[in-house]
Amino acid sequence: MSLISLVVLLEALTMNASMISTGLPGIMAYFHTNQGGWIQTAFLLVAAVISPTLGKIADMFGKRRVLLICVFVSAAGSLVSALAPNFILLLTGRAMSSLLVTCLFLGYSLIRDVYPPKTVAMAAALATSGMGVVSVATPFLTGWLMDGFGWRSLFWFFTVILVITGIGIRLFTDESSFRLRSKIDFVGAGLLGAGIGAILVAVSFGVDWGWTDGKTLGLFLVGIVMLSLWIYSARVVKAPLIDLRLLTRRSIGLTAIAAGTAYGSTTVSSTILPLMSMTSASFGLGYGFSIDAKGFAAIQSPLGVAQVIGGVLVGIMIGRGLTPRVLLALGSSLLAVGSLVIMSGMDTRWIVLVGAIITGIGTGLAYSSIPNVQFSTVPPQLQASTASIVATSQSMLGAILPVAVFTLLNSNVARVVDGVTLYSANGMKFAWIGAAGIALISVVAVLFVPRKIIEVTVQNDAVGDLTVIGEPNDVSSIAPSGQSAEVDPPTATHRAVATTR
C-alpha cells in the first residue's frame, strides 16, 4: 500500500500539467481572461522558489512529515481552485498546489531511505514507469471529466486523489530516520520569487496597461531591484537558495540552460496546443478544429505514447554508445521541428497530429536525457547541487515562458467574442515559432556542455600555488576547494575532477 500511494502521488503530478492545460480554454472562457499563461506560471514559479527550501526542511525535520504537508496543502489548493469564484482565487489555489512538485523528489528520497535495500531499485522503477502509462490514459480521463462535468471537475479530481494518497502515505509509509543540520535561505527565496513575479506581471499586463505606463515601469523597477538584492544575498549568505558560483561552471550552467529551455519549450507547446485545437473552425481564424476535450484526446494520447517511446529510446541508445548530450540535442531539435510542423498546418488536423507526435518523441528524449547529461558531465561531489539547480531552472523557465508567449498572443488579438479572446493566425504562428526558438536554445547550450569528466593532475609547487597539467582551459571546472582535491605526500600532488570538451 505504501508503494501504491507513492506511485499514485507521482502520477498525480504527471497528470496535473496535461489535464489543466486541456482545461485552459474552458477556464479562460469562464473567467473572460486573456492571462491563461498564469495558470501554469502560478504553479511552476512558486514550485521553483519553494522546492529547494522544502527539500532542506525535509532533511532537517523528516521527509515523510514534509511530504504529507505538501500533499495536503496541494489538496487544499485544488479545492480552492475548484470553488474559485474569480481568476485570482483560482491562481491562489494553483500556487498552493505547486507543493505537489516537491513531492516528486521527496517521494523518491523516501523510497530510498525507508524501503528495504533489495526493493529500492524495483520500487523506484515502478514509480517511474507508471508515469509513462498515465500519459496515455490521462487525455481520455480529462475528456470524460471536462465534457461531462466541466473544468472544475479537474480540480475536484485532484482534491480527492491527493487526500486519498496522503492518508495512504500517513498509514503505510515510515518516516525517514536521516536528519541534516542546514541553514534555510528564506530571504533569498522571497527576493527571487518577488523579483520574477513583479517582472512577469509587468510583462503580462504591459500590452493592456501600456509599456510606458507607471504601473508597468514600476513593476519592472521593483523586479529588477529585488533580483539585484537576491544576487547580492546569494553571494554573501553561507547556504544560498542557488549557489551562483556553480553556474559559472560550464558543465553546470549550460546543463541548467539546456534542461530549462527544453522544459520551457514543452510547457509552451502543451499550453497552446489545446487552445489552438479546441478553437471553433467556424470563426475562420486559420486554425482550430471545433473539438471538445474528448476530441483533443485523439491528439494528446498519441503524443503521450510518443513521449514514452522517446524515453525508452534513450535507454536503448545510451546502451549502444550514443552520449546523453547527443540525445538531448536530438530531443530538443525534434521539439523545434514538431512546433514548426504544427505551425505549418494549424488548420489541418493530420498535420497537427504529426507535429504533436514529433514533439512527443522529442519530449521523451529530452526529459530522459537531462539526468544522464548531468551524471556524465558533472563531478560526483556536485551532483546534488547540480540536480537542485537544474530542477529550479526547469521550473523557472517553465513558469516564465508561457507568460511571455501569452504576451505575444495578446499583442495579436483577432477579436473578442462573448468575453473570450480569439487570437489571430499570425499570433498563433508566432507562439509556435517561439516554442521552436526556445527548443533551439537548448540545442545550442547542450552542444557546448563538456563531453565527459576526466581526471586532471594538479601539482602544488608552493602553498596555494597550483600548476595544471592537462587542459588549462578547464581550470574553471575544477571542483571547489575541499570537495575534490586530496594531497599525496611527499610529492604534494592533488587529484581534482575537471571537465573537458
User: What DSSP string describes 335-370?
Assistant: HHHHHHHHHHTTT-HHHHHHHHHHHHHHHHHHHHHH
Residue 110 has pLDDT above 70, yes or no: yes
pLDDT in tens, 221-266: 999 999 999 999 988 888 787 778 878 888 888 999 999 999 999 9
Cis peptide before 472, with omega less than 30 degrees from 0?
A: no
Residues 244 and 134: their CA atoms lie apart, in Å, by 36
Output the pLDDT for position 483: 40
Mean pLDDT score, 291-310: 89
Q: What pLDDT was estimated at residue 466?
A: 37
pTM, rounded to two decimals? 0.79
**Higher per-residue confidence, 86 vs 123:** 86
Cell of 220: 519592472
Tell me the per-residue pLDDT of 36-48, one tens digit each, with 9 for 90 and over.
889 988 898 888 8
pLDDT of residue 101: 86
* Selected residue with higher pLDDT from 130 and 487: 130
pLDDT for 372 equals 80
- Per-residue pLDDT, 380: 67
Over residues 366-395, the pLDDT tens digits come to 988 888 887 777 776 666 667 778 888 888
d(CA 310, CA 331): 8
Q: Is 399 left (phi over 0), alpha (psi -120 to 50) or beta?
A: alpha
pLDDT-derived band at 472, boundaries 50, 70, 90: very low
pLDDT of residue 105: 74
Q: How far apart are CA 308 and CA 316, in angstroms?
A: 13
* pLDDT score at 354: 96
- 307-355 residue pLDDT tens: 888 888 887 888 777 888 899 999 999 999 999 999 999 999 999 999 9
Is residue 284 within 8 Å of residue 335, measured between CB atoms?
A: no
The pLDDT score that the predictor gives to residue 491 is: 35
Looking at every residue in the chain, the average pLDDT score rounds to 83
Dihedral angle, C-alpha 437, 442, 445, 447, nearest 10 °: -110
The Cα 421–Cα 203 span in angstroms is 18
Q: What pLDDT sits at residue 10?
A: 83
Residue 128 is predicted with a pLDDT of: 59
What is the per-residue pLDDT for 132? 58
Residue 193 has pLDDT above 90, yes or no: no
| pLDDT beyond 90 at 34 | no
Q: Give the DSSP per-residue string, 59-128.
A: HHH-HHHHHHHHHHHHHHHHHHHHH-SSHHHHHHHHHHHTHHHHHHHHHHHHHHHHS-HHHHHHHHHHHH
Residue carrying C-alpha cell 528524449: 365
pLDDT band at 2 (very low <50, low <70, confident <90, very high): confident
Kindly indicate the confidence band of residue 477, based on its pLDDT and cuts at 50, 70 and 90.
very low
**Predicted local distance difference test score (pLDDT) of residue 457:** 38
Question: Using 50, 70 and 90 to split pLDDT, how confident is the model at 30?
Answer: very high
Confidence of residue 122 (pLDDT cuts 50, 70, 90): low
130 within 8 A of 107, measured Cβ to Cβ: no
**Which range scores top for mean pLDDT: 97-106, 217-226, 492-501?**
217-226
pLDDT at 452 over 90: no
Kind of pairing between the strands at 452-462 and 465-469:
antiparallel
Evaluate if residue 201 carries a pLDDT over 80.
Answer: yes
Q: What share of the chain is helix, strand, coil (3-state, %, to 5)?
A: 75, 5, 20
pLDDT > 50? residue 465? no
Average pLDDT of span 162-176: 91
Query: What is the share, in percent, of the chain residues with pLDDT greater than 70?
Result: 86
Over pLDDT 90: what percentage of the chain?
39
C-alpha grid cell, residue 126: 515502478
